[in-house]
Amino acid sequence: MNALKRYLSLIKFSHTIFAMPFALVGFGLGVVDQAMLSSALSTEQWWWKAVFVLGCMVFARSAAMAFNRYLDRTFDALNPRTAMREIPAGIISPKKALRFTILSAALFVGCAYCINAPCFYLSPVALLIVLGYSYTKRFTALCHLILGLGLSLSVTGAYLAVTGTFDLLPILFSLAVLTWVSGFDIIYALQDESFDRSHRLRSIPAWLGGKRALRVSSALHFLTISALFFAGIWGDYGIWYWTGTLVFSLLLIYQHALVTAEDLSRINLAFMTTNGVGSVVFSCFVIIELIFSS
C-alpha cells in the first residue's frame, strides 16, 4: 500500500481530474452519434469500451508523468520547489520510475488494442506526443502547447474509441482542452520563472516575463471559451450545455483574478481548485445535455 501511494504521488494522480471529465464528454458524444447511426452496441459492450478508454487515459497519463519526473530529476533536485519530489528525495529510484513508465506505456497500447484498430494504430503517435512533451522545455517556450495537445487527445481519443472515426465536435472540444490546459500551465509555470531562466529552460514566463505570460494565458483561455461557444452552436445544444459553459467560463475568469505577476500566493487555488471544479461541472452539464437531447 505504501508503494502504491508513492507511485500515485509520483504521477500526481489527483491531477487526472483535469482531462478525465473531457474524455467522458468525448465518449458521450461517440455514444450519441453511434445511436443516431442505429449501430448501438449492447450495454455490456459499452461498459467494456468505457473501461478500456479509462485505462488508456490513466496509463497514458501515468507514463507521461513518470517519464517527466524521470527526465527532469536533475532539475527537480536543484529547484527548491520540487526538491522533495519522489526521485530527487530518494523515495523512488530513477530506474523504478523508468520501469513504471515502460509498463504504463505498454498497458496503454494494450488497452488501445482492445478498443479498435484505429486506436491501436494511433497509440504510438499519442505516446510520442505525451512522452515527447518532457523534452520540449529544453528547446521551446511553446512546451505548454505540447502539454495541452497531449491532454486534448483524451477527447478525440474517446470519441474514436466509440465510433472509429473523427468529427468536428470532438475536435472543437479538443481545441478547448488544448488552449485551456496550455493557459493554466503558463500560470503554474510562473512559480519557476527565475529558475527556468537561470538554467536555460524554456517557458512562456521565462521568455516573456510574468505580466506578458499572463496576457498569453488570458488569450489562450479566450480561445477556450470561443471553442466551447462554437461547439455549442454547431451541436445545437440547449440550456444545460450553455449553463455548463457559463460556469466554466466564469471559473476561468476567476482564475485570472486570483494570480498576478507580483502575487503568486493563491496559485494553487487558481491551478487545482478552479480548473478541477470547472472541468467536472462542465462535463456533468454536457453529459446531461447529451442525455436529454439524444
Q: What is the pLDDT of residues 146-168, one digit of tens each?
A: 999 999 999 999 999 999 999 99
With residue 38 as reference, give the H or E element that holds it. none
Question: Is the model's pLDDT at 119 over the cut of 70?
Answer: yes
Give the pLDDT of residue 270.
78
Residue-range domains of the chain with CATH: 2-293 (1.10.357.140)
Helices (DSSP H) in 137-238: which residue ranges?
A: 143-163, 168-189, 193-198, 204-208, 210-235
Q: What is the pLDDT of residue 265?
A: 87
Question: Which amino acid, 80?
Answer: P
Mean pLDDT of 244-273: 90
What per-residue confidence (pLDDT) applies to 38?
Answer: 52
- Rounded Cα–Cα distance for residues 71 and 50 (Å): 31
Q: Which has more pLDDT, 202 or 4?
A: 202
pLDDT value of residue 271 = 77
Residue of higher predicted confidence among 19 and 162: 162
Residue 242 pLDDT exceeds 90: yes
Question: Could you give the C-alpha distances from 182 to 150, 214, 291, in angstroms and in order?
Answer: 10, 12, 30
What pLDDT shows up at residue 64? 93
Write down the pLDDT at residue 48.
85
Asked whether the predicted pLDDT for residue 11 surpasses 90, the reply is no
Q: Is 83 exposed, middle or buried (0-12, 13-18, 19+ CB in 10 A)?
A: exposed
What does the pLDDT average to over 37-45? 57
Q: At what angle do helices 94-115 and 117-136 cross, to 10 degrees?
A: 150
Rg (CA), the chain: 19
The yes-or-no verdict on residue 83 having pLDDT over 70 is yes
Residue 128, pLDDT > 60, answer yes
Query: For residue range 175-224, what is the model confidence (pLDDT) as tens digits?
Result: 999 999 999 999 999 999 999 999 999 999 999 999 999 999 999 999 99
Statement: residue 37 has pLDDT above 90: no
Predicted pLDDT of residue 44: 57
Q: What percent of the chain has pLDDT over 90?
A: 77
> What number is the average pLDDT over the span 34-49?
64
Mean pLDDT of 123-133: 96
Q: How confident is the model at residue 40 (pLDDT cuts 50, 70, 90)?
A: low
